[in-house]
Amino acid sequence: MARATAPKGASPVRTLLTVLMDVFIVVALIALAALVIAFFGQLLAQPWGRQVYSLAGRVVIPFGIKAIATPYGGVFNVDAVVSIGSYMAIEWALGMVRGTR
């Protein structure tokens, strides 16, 4: 049986950066869930929607930007959008650093 080896150039720092990048992607997806649930007011009116929104809202950075009302009875949470953009920018920067390792 052939023994699996790490790819050439893989280091613990590179692996740590990859894991950290993955964490930022997951956090951005959680913030996206909060954005979608808040956008559609009917989802936020459901008990499960409130629960998911309260959990997902923990990763949304409160920038203090006023939310915009939507025609669907919800709000467009601008803080969530800026949070997602921030998480993706950090992930991109970590990818640049990882590429140099």
For the CA atoms of 88, 90, 93, 99, what is the dihedral angle to 10 degrees? -80
CA distance 38 to 17: 32
Least confident of 9-13, 27-31, 49-53, 66-70: 9-13
Q: What is the pTM of this model?
A: 0.83
Query: What percent of the chain shows pLDDT beyond 70?
Result: 90
Residue-wise pLDDT for 84-94, tens only, equals 999 999 999 99
Average pLDDT value for residue range 69-86: 95
- Crossing angle of helices 12-39 and 78-100, in 10° steps, is 160
Q: Is the pLDDT of residue 74 over 80?
A: yes
Domain ranges of the chain: 12-100
What is the DSSP code (8-state) at residue 72? Answer: T
Predicted pLDDT of residue 5: 61
Predicted pLDDT of residue 53: 94
CB pairs under 8 A, 24+ apart, for 49-56?
55/30, 56/30, 56/31
Predicted pLDDT of residue 99: 81
Residue-wise pLDDT for 27-63, tens only, equals 999 999 999 999 999 999 999 999 999 999 999 999 9
